[in-house]
Structure 1
């Protein structure tokens, strides 16, 4: 489970950022980091690793894949932070941060294939700790990982603490905290490697694995949160807009079914509409327009006598002020909708609705309140009384 959760989160972020990375080159390094980490965490479980090795017919190749992915991820995070620093200062980073990871990957491959491996290892660095090539392999990988994470941590804290950095700065501080935890992970791996080379029985395998997995999980979580923090306001706004879109669906569907000419497109089913994440803000804007157009059309079927009866009904239930106006509007709208569906002629005396917003945000709020009133018992009681008093 401790491997499945970060792997799933990393794949979600990787897929989510893919389109943006294709369109904006400056975001590709961070996307590559997430893709590499997602792949590394996917092959980390023993069952998956064994299946990969068996499929590719190379013993313990999954370990090389994980470590190469870790190297690529560390290099990509360092490139991302260095590019951000370059954007703010104009100082170009050294090309070494691109050359060194390539050399690291080549050395890892050379050490891995130079080691005779007679069996599938539970942990490559511990099961073959008596081979000097694997010791070199572990030192090369953890040394690069530690160096890259240390550099990224310094850069993150340096630029994240700037007073004008805003959410980007807070995100960098979280990323820097994550890379600092990753540095502890690298230090732990180096210490474990050396201890097991000196005395294989000195360090318990279960305690080593638990601590290693915990540090890795915490580092990934902090990096994930920090890198996505700057876009949380947009995500929050999109989620809020989608919730508003869903909440307005009943009122929109009920009113526009009576006035279908106000709809631009055929109405989807409620589940389909709620499950569609595309063009949320555009659809919400269009929905408010269509509801308001339907209300204006139905107002032609609500003469002053009907409006007065609706207001008296609201007042008799104890509603006052603006609340009474909204309940009354919901009542006469329900009755006007029934008249429209029956094919009754309009009154010829259109009136503006009793409520309305000054901008999109207040209009959404007003229509949400109206939708709640439209579905209330007060409106249903008024409609039942209207049916009894009005001949068909």
Structure 2
């Protein structure tokens, strides 16, 4: 595969990914002021990158759109994108004078490009192809390159350090991915500037690859909230799935802790949840812990030690040993409750005082306890204190 073929394929992938990301995030991003600027910035960059693709250029040429018109449109939108990057950055500082300065610089750059184009500066030094650079004598092209370098350099300088200070996970990844995309944009425009003075036709396909990969990073920065939301959903789904057998058995023994009866099967609970997975996981954790506290009134004093010895005989060690012992003692307490035994003073089980999610999931991993059956009819419990 030649460099040109690679550039074309990566370019198509980049453009498709960018448009999908824009459509996917349009609804939520445009409603939130802190995400609207990023969306508009990526939108402008996407149009510019789209107008850089050979297939799009060929289609526009077939439709009768001139090369000069396409080049001017792409360059104006590209500079607008660079200006939006700066606005996106200064908006976070809430500095009105900086915002006005950026707007003034953006208007000046756009006006200069239009004026120089009308005066013929862009035409007389136009590139041989819509993708290639012109000669270094053109002020038009120097303004274009400098505008991009300024916007992308500012993005790198501001976005990455700020991502290290914020605790918002979505914002952290959006800023880091945006900064990495800006680094690639700097490489592209630095290479473009170099090519103005030292023409090298072999360089342009690789620069095309760089700017297309930059587009993938821009799309990723836009999709970061979606990716983290998906990761949270998958974590909640895993919690619902792993905790469900323990939760079902405990709320069957202590039904008053449950807001609603468990669904018939674990698969049904996952595929047809009554609420979101996150809410279902939260509910199962709370109800499991509440049931566990209630069942401590049915734990015999020696139950945990007995289950611990049984688990040790099977070769368990460390955290698995503790979880198996807790599962065994809890299973005995559940059977005592279901058999109608009278409650006694609570016998706290070790390690469950704070209701740690990790502890409950560890118990669920050993449920039913692999330590062997415990007595189904436990002996008399300690009488409750008056």
TM-score past 0.5 threshold: yes
- What secondary structure, in the 3-state scheme, does the structure 2 residue paired with 1:70 have? helix
Per-residue CA deviations over 1:205-246 (Å, capped at 9, x if unaligned) read xx3542221331454467678x68xx89x977x677555434
2:307 equivalent in structure 1: 310
Q: Flag the 1:50–1:29 CA change in 2: closer, same or farther, 3 A.
A: same
Give the Cα separation in 1 of the matches to 2:195 and 2:31. Answer: 38
- What secondary structure, in the 3-state scheme, does the structure 1 residue paired with 2:349 have? coil
Q: Shift in Å at residue 182 of structure 1? A: 3.7
Identify the range of structure 1 (245-254 vs 348-357) with the bigger mean alpha-carbon deviation.
348-357
Give the Cα separation in 2 of the matches to 1:337 and 1:9. Answer: 53
| Residues 240, 280 of structure 2: 8 Å contact kept | no
RMSD of aligned Cα (Å)? 5.4
Identify the structure with bigger relative contact order (alpha carbons < 8 Å, sequence gap 6+). 2
2:148 equivalent in structure 1: 149
| Residues 178, 219 of structure 1: 8 Å contact kept | yes
Per-residue CA deviations over 1:75-99 (Å, capped at 9, x if unaligned) read 2113223444663x96454232342
Give the Cα separation in 1 of the matches to 2:271 and 2:60. Answer: 39
* Match 1:126 to one of 125, 128, 131: 128
| Residues 299, 330 of structure 2: 8 Å contact kept | yes
| Structure 1 unmatched ranges of 5 or more | 116-123, 196-202
Per the normalisation by structure 2, the TM-score is 0.63
2:248 equivalent in structure 1: 257
| Structure 2 unmatched ranges of 5 or more | 1-8, 379-386
Q: Shift in Å at residue 327 of structure 1? A: 1.2
| Residues 15, 49 of structure 2: 8 Å contact kept | yes
Q: Shift in Å at residue 110 of structure 1? A: 7.3
1:184 equivalent in structure 2: 190
Q: Flag the 1:92–1:280 CA change in 2: closer, same or farther, 3 A.
A: same
Give the Cα separation in 2 of the matches to 1:317 and 1:22. Answer: 58
- What secondary structure, in the 3-state scheme, does the structure 1 residue paired with 2:307 have? helix
| Residues 14, 35 of structure 1: 8 Å contact kept | yes
Per the normalisation by structure 1, the TM-score is 0.62
Q: Are 2:278 and 1:287 aligned?
A: no
| Residues 298, 333 of structure 1: 8 Å contact kept | yes
Give the Cα separation in 2 of the matches to 1:27 and 1:380. Answer: 50
- What secondary structure, in the 3-state scheme, does the structure 2 residue paired with 1:126 have? coil
Q: Flag the 1:335–1:141 CA change in 2: closer, same or farther, 3 A.
A: farther
Task: Write out aligned runs for 1:1-392 (5 A).
Answer: 1-7=9-15, 10-11=18-19, 14=22, 18=26, 21-25=29-33, 27-42=35-50, 44-47=52-55, 50=58, 58=65, 66-84=74-92, 87=95, 91-94=98-101, 95-100=103-108, 102-103=110-111, 125-127=127-129, 142-153=141-152, 155-156=154-155, 166=165, 171=176, 174=180, 177-187=183-193, 190=196, 204=201, 207-217=202-212, 219-220=214-215, 242=233, 244-258=235-249, 259=251, 261=255, 262-264=257-259, 273=270, 284-297=281-294, 299=296, 309-319=306-316, 324-334=321-331, 344-349=339-344, 351=346, 354-356=349-351, 363-374=356-367, 379-380=369-370, 382-383=372-373
- What secondary structure, in the 3-state scheme, does the structure 1 residue paired with 2:190 have? helix
Q: Which has the higher helix share?
A: 1
Q: Flag the 1:321–1:186 CA change in 2: closer, same or farther, 3 A.
A: closer
Q: Shift in Å at residue 32 of structure 1? A: 0.9
Q: How many residues align?
A: 349
1:120 equivalent in structure 2: none
Give the Cα separation in 2 of the matches to 1:346 and 1:140. Answer: 91
Q: Shift in Å at residue 289 of structure 1? A: 0.7
